[in-house]
Each structure stands twice: as structure tokens, then as C-alpha cells.
């Protein structure tokens, strides 16, 4: 009997049976080409269908020429989209997975220009967007009718291509939500004013879509309960809309947040600091009021959580998008009773939504094969086997070395991993000690399981040197010896109390009550150390050598953390380059003006100055017959993402 009996119960909607209660929510991937479904997008979704997902909801498709909010979205405004959708539907149906498509108009939520010039955004009223600083033009009644017809035409194209249903995106402050919101919809015609009038746009969209797709296709709606913004929809308002629209819907898909503000947008892909399954209570409230199936998402990253949500009657389907990004085989592993083999998502946001915001194809720091399915194809989780078995020695047990060792062994090589310390994990062991980042330790847990499954020989407390390599005689040595804290030359350093972030996290530093964190990298470390010390009762000033704290990290992580630091009273000083120290005074230079920034009353200066590579082994092993392959921080200090990716690449090249 399955350990997850409720998760693996089928659900039938409009005659289409979804084999289990796990679905992938609609999410941008940056994989479309020429606004259509590409081979890469099909391969991406196919990997999750083969992995056992019950339902996949393809990413947003624009329904009107004014819906183009990025340059790499899908558009369903002409029949040219049909062949791509047909290819997607056929591929997923062959694996037993149902597929829906999202119908989308952002309204005022325009993220980028098509050609450098700002486009005209259209919304119910001229109420500006705060996040993208867009002032929209109010929609005329003629445009409203045109957009409604666009929803219907797009729905006809998608279902005509073989999709099992369509989902109206009324979530996250997009156009339908803008019509519902009395603080955004200031119209005084039949589409605004009263609650009844503010519902009219969605009623007419749903009626037009139903007429276009016929009786055999599902029509659902995604909506945020709490938009988590003072100007956003509240749970009371969203619930009232859901109840009023129930008769027109086959299901409702609930989430939280809004694109319209920095604080609300965090909930589009909530980081690890946010509680698991935190939207489920609102889903339960909805479920108590309606008879249609209720879908829910929001930090549901393990089948155990999905089982609890469904068994508790809070929802009927669980969106587990990032869980499927981290491990496409997650549903199959859960169904087969192998939950320990699941590579659990840690909600770091670094390579999934983080890549999207940078304009790159989404991936995963733990599973870099995601988004690269055409480069690293797998079947049932199995990799292509090596043509010749080789003896491989991996020096270093951080994320880079662990990934390289696991993948090389999976491909049939004889692999031994040596770690100088008593534990595997490298800098990830420190990262998990930052406030709210304990889940990052899951990276180590997941990689250790991959090593075990692959049969890698692991030797701890053993430092690799020339004598060891000569004795073992490997054909390949993968150098993954990592990095160490960077201590730049600081004038007057001997007169002050200076420590680095590693010493703080390890409890090796005696930190005073007034602290300045000198943050060169502008990443997780500076913000995390500032939070830790503030919670310890210190007065903290965070001086960052950039525009903002967390400049280089995923924006939802950064914005959530910025709010936390503000609540804790941390003073953030931007444009600050560390210059020197004189006793209890720290000297910085304003990067833009060149003028001095003098911070007095400093008990401790904490250096968050990044890492420098540790690669003495390359020179020590030079002249040996073994091929030397440096990866990760040993090659050049960066992040866990590059470390794991280079581990994969090194192993796949053997």
C-alpha cells in the first residue's frame, strides 16, 4: 500500500482523469522560441510527465497583443501557436499526464520592453504599478470586448491542439485581479464600481471561454487569496469572487501574493524563509464554501506535505512546481515507496525564478539537468553510461565534488571521493547556519544520498596530496578543494577588531555590541550575518559595495530579507567600499562620489569579502599522468550553483 494514499488517488475533471494529485503550476521558463512552444519546452515538461506528474499546466499564453509582458513568453493570438501546443499535448499524453494551458493578460504588470522603448500598458484604470513603475492607460469598452474575445480565441486554439483544459490567470495582481480590486479598478461604468460590476469582466471571460472550448474541456481559474499588499486583494474579497464565479468553473487554483509590489511579489515563488504549505489554510476556507475541486500551491515541496494537505481536506490537488524542478522523478519515487531518494527542493530560488529574472532558462542548483534536458537527457532517472570505465579520484567533498563523484559513478566509473574534514558539504554547512537558511542544508543531505545510491567510495578526514594520488593511480583527478575567506589589505587593520563571516558562523569570534558588516559580495552572506548579529542583540550597520544589500541574489529572497532587516533595525549603507580601520572607526569610500564614509563606534568589523580559491593541489600534482579537472570555487569562487553544475559537466565529460 502506498505511503501516500491520498496523493495517488485519481481525480476526474470534465471526463479527463488526472492520475494523482501532484501538478506543476504554470510558470515561466524562458524556453519558448518566437513566442511559441519549443523543443526545449516540450523536453522540460516531458521529463516531469515521465517522472509521474498527474497534471502539467503550461506557462502563460498571451491572449491579446497588449499582453506581451516579456520577450520570452508564449502567445496564443494566432493559429501559429497550434502545432507547438499539439506537440506538447501528444508528448505528455503519451506518458499518462494531463495538460492544461494558462490564458493570460498582465494588465499594468508589464515587466520589460520589446525593443528598449516602454510599451503602453492597459488596465481597468490609471492606477500605477509600484514594482515596475508603470502608469497604465485605462481600457476602453471596445478594448475590453477585444481582450475578452482574445481569451476565447486563445482557449479555442489551445484545446483544439489537444490540451485538456485552460486556466484563466486571475492571480498575482494581473488583469482579471485588477478588475476585481476596488483600489485598482476605479471605473464608473458596467465594469467598475459595485462588486457586481467588478466581477463582470471575469464573468464574460469565463462565459466566452466556455463557449469556445465546449463541454469536454476543463475551465479553471487561478487566484491569489491574500495578495499580501496594502493595496491588494484580501482573502475576504478573493473568497467572495470565487464563490460568485463557482458555477462557471471546473476548479479553482489558489495561491498568494501580487506582482504589483516588491513585498507581494515574494509570494510568486516564496523563499525558504516562508513556511511550508502556508496557503493551505486559505484553500481549506475556499473548499468549505465551494463544491468544485480546489488546487493549492505555495512551498509544498515534499509528498508528505501534499498528503497532509489532501488527507486533511484542505485541497484536492497540490502544486509542487519547484519540487518537480529539483526532482522530476519525485512522484514516481513517492509512489514506489522511495521517499528518501527524493531530491527535495530547498526553495533557494537561485536557478529557477532567479534565472528567469536574469533572462536565462530556468534550472536548479541541485539538479542542473533541469532546463538542459536536450543536453543531458535521462530516461527514468538513468544517465547515459560511459563508453569506458575509468578510475576517478575526487579531491574535496563540497557540493562540486559530491555532484561530480555521484554522476561519474552513476555513469559506470570507479570513483573515490576524499574529504579533508570529518563531514561532507563544504561551505553549504556554513550557509545553513545563516538565519532562515537551515533548509539549505538539504543540498548536502540530497547529495549524500546521491553518493550512496551511486556507490561512491567516500574517505573522510583524508587530505589529498601527491603521495596519495601516486598510490591510488587514478586516470582522472577532479579538483574540488573549494575556497577560503578573502581578507583584503586593509589599512590600519592591526588597530581594530576584525573577524570574517566564517569565524562568526563557527562561533570562533568574540563579537562586540556595535558591529559593521563590510559586504563586498552583496549576496546571502552579508544579509544573513547582519540578521544573525541583530538577533543576538548587536547594533548592526551593513555597508554594501553595491546598490542594495543582496544585489546579486534572487530578488524575492533579497526583498524578503530586506524587510526582515528593516524590522530588526539594521542600518544599510549602500555604495560603500571598505578602505581602512582606526581603532573603533571604520572608513569606507562612497563608490560613486569618491567621498569618505566614516562609521564611528565600531566594536567589531565583520568581513564579508567573498572567497578566494584554494588550488595548491594543481601545482603539487603537475607532471603526474592523471588528467586534472578543477571545478567549483577551486576553479574560481562563485556559488553552489556553479559548483554543482561544473560537477555535472566534469562527470559527463569523462
Identify the CA nearest to 54 among candidates 11, 91, 2: 11
Using CA atoms, how far apart are residues 108 and 338, in angstroms rounded to an integer? Answer: 45
Cβ contacts of residue 269 below 8 Å, gap of 6+?
322, 349, 352, 353, 556
Concatenate the DSSP letters of all residues of 331-364 into one string. HHHHHTT-GGG--------TTTHHHHHHTS----
Using CA atoms, how far apart are residues 222 and 170, in angstroms rounded to an integer? Answer: 5
Identify the CA nearest to 189 among candidates 225, 144, 159: 144
What Cα–Cα distance (Å) separates residue 465 from each residue in 238, 396, 584, 629, 650? Answer: 63, 12, 43, 15, 21
Residue of 69, 174, 251, 556 marked catalytic: 174
Using CA atoms, how far apart are residues 155 and 609, in angstroms rounded to an integer? Answer: 52
Cα first-last separation, the chain: 41
Contact indicator for 73, 114 with CB cutoff of 8 Å: no
Contact indicator for 57, 25 with CB cutoff of 8 Å: yes
Cell numbers at residue 518, please?
Answer: 563590510
Residue 174: active-site member:
yes
Residue 432 CB coordination number (10 Å): 19
Cell numbers at residue 389, please?
Answer: 570505465
Q: Which residues of 291-319 are buried (b: 16+ CB within 10 A; e: fewer)?
A: ebbbbbbbbbbbbbbbbbbbeeebbbbbb
Residue 438 CB coordination number (10 Å): 14
In degrees, rounded to 5, the angle at the alpha carbon of residue 369 between the alpha carbons of residues 366 and 370 is 85
Residue with cell 488546487: 295
Identify the CA nearest to 51 among candidates 97, 5, 10: 97
In degrees, rounded to 5, the angle at the alpha carbon of residue 52 between the alpha carbons of residues 46 and 55 is 75
Cell numbers at residue 212, please?
Answer: 469556445
The alpha-helical segments, DSSP class H, found in 274-352 are 280-287, 303-311, 321-326, 330-335
Torsion of CA 23, 28, 33, 38, to 10 degrees: -10
CA 523 to chain CA mean position, Å = 16
Using CA atoms, how far apart are residues 550 and 349, in angstroms rounded to an integer? Answer: 13
Supply the residues annotated as catalytic. 174
Amino acid at each position: 500500500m502506498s505511503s501516500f494514499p491520498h496523493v495517488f488517488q485519481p481525480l476526474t475533471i470534465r471526463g479527463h482523469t488526472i492520475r494523482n494529485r501532484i501538478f506543476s503550476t504554470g510558470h515561466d521558463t524562458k524556453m519558448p522560441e518566437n513566442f511559441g512552444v519549443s523543443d526545449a519546452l516540450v523536453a522540460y515538461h516531458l521529463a516531469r510527465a515521465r517522472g509521474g506528474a498527474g497534471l502539467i499546466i503550461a506557462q502563460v499564453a498571451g491572449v491579446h497583443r497588449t499582453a506581451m509582458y516579456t520577450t520570452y513568453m508564449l502567445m496564443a493570438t494566432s493559429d501559429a501557436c497550434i502545432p507547438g501546443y499539439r506537440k506538447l499535448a501528444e508528448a505528455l499524453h503519451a506518458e499518462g499526464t494531463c495538460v492544461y494551458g494558462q490564458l493570460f493578460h498582465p494588465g499594468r504588470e508589464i515587466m520589460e520592453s520589446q525593443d528598449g522603448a516602454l510599451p503602453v500598458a492597459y488596465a481597468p484604470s490609471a492606477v500605477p504599478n509600484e514594482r515596475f513603475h508603470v502608469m497604465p492607460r485605462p481600457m476602453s469598452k471596445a478594448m475590453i470586448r477585444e481582450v475578452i474575445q482574445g481569451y476565447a480565441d486563445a482557449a479555442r486554439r489551445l484545446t483544439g491542439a489537444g490540451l485538456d483544459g485552460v486556466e484563466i490567470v486571475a492571480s498575482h495582481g494581473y488583469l482579471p485581479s485588477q478588475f476585481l480590486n476596488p483600489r485598482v479598478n476605479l471605473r464608473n461604468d458596467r465594469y467598475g464600481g459595485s462588486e457586481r460590476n467588478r466581477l463582470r469582466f471575469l464573468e464574460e471571460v469565463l462565459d466566452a471561454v466556455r463557449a469556445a472550448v465546449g463541454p469536454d474541456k476543463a475551465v479553471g481559474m487561478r487566484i491569489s487569496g491574500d495578495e499580501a499588499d496594502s493595496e491588494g486583494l484580501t482573502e475576504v474579497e478573493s473568497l467572495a469572487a470565487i464563490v460568485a464565479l463557482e458555477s462557471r468553473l471546473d476548479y479553482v487554483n489558489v495561491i498568494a501574493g501580487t506582482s504589483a509590489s516588491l513585498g507581494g511579489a515574494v509570494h510568486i515563488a516564496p523563499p525558504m524563509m516562508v513556511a511550508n504549505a502556508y496557503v493551505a489554510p486559505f484553500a481549506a476556507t475556499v473548499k468549505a464554501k465551494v463544491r468544485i475541486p480546489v488546487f493549492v500551491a505555495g512551498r509544498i515541496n515534499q509528498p508528505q506535505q501534499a498528503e497532509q494537505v489532501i488527507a486533511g481536506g484542505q485541497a484536492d490537488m497540490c502544486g509542487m512546481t519547484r519540487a518537480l524542478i529539483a526532482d522530476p522523478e519525485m512522484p514516481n519515487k513517492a509512489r514506489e515507496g522511495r521517499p528518501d531518494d527524493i531530491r527535495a527542493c530547498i526553495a533557494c530560488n537561485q536557478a529557477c525564478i532567479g534565472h528567469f529574472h536574469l533572462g536565462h532558462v530556468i534550472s536548479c542548483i541541485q539538479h542542473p539537468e533541469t532546463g538542459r534536458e536536450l543536453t543531458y537527457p535521462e530516461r527514468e532517472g538513468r544517465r547515459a553510461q560511459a563508453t569506458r570505465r575509468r578510475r576517478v579520484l575526487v579531491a574535496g567533498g563540497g557540493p562540486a565534488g559530491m555532484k561530480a563523484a555521484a554522476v561519474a559513478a552513476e555513469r559506470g566509473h570507479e570513483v573515490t571521493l576524499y574529504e579533508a574534514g570529518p563531514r561532507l558539504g563544504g561551505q553549504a554547512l556554513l550557509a545553513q547556519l545563516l538565519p532562515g537558511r537551515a533548509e539549505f542544508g538539504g543540498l548536502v543531505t540530497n547529495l549524500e544520498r546521491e553518493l550512496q545510491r551511486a556507490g561512491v567510495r567516500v574517505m573522510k578526514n583524508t587530505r589529498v596530496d601527491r603521495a596519495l594520488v601516486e598510490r591510488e593511480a587514478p586516470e582522472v583527478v577532479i579538483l574540488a578543494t573549494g575556497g577560503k575567506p578573502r581578507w583584503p589589505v586593509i589599512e590600519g587593520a592591526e588597530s581594530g577588531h576584525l573577524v570574517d563571516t566564517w569565524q562568526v558562523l563557527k562561533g570562533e569570534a568574540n563579537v562586540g555590541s556595535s558591529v559593521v558588516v563590510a559586504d563586498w559580495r552583496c549576496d546571502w552572506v552579508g544579509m544573513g550575518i547582519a540578521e544573525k548579529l541583530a538577533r543576538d542583540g548587536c547594533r548592526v550597520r551593513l555597508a554594501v559595495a553595491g546598490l542594495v544589500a543582496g544585489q546579486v541574489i534572487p530578488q524575492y529572497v533579497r526583498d524578503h530579507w530586506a524587510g526582515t532587516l528593516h524590522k530588526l533595525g539594521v542600518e544599510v549603507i549602500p555604495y560603500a567600499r571598505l578602505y581602512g580601520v582606526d581603532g573603533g572607526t571604520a572608513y569606507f569610500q562612497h563608490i560613486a562620489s569618491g567621498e569618505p564614509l566614516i562609521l564611528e563606534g565600531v566594536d567589531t568589523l565583520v568581513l564579508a569579502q567573498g572567497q578566494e580559491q584554494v588550488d595548491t593541489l594543481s601545482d603539487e600534482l603537475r607532471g603526474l599522468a592523471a588528467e586534472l579537472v578543477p571545478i567549483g570555487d577551486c576553479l574560481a569562487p562563485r556559488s553552489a550553483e556553479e559548483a554543482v553544475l561544473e560537477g555535472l559537466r566534469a562527470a559527463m565529460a569523462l
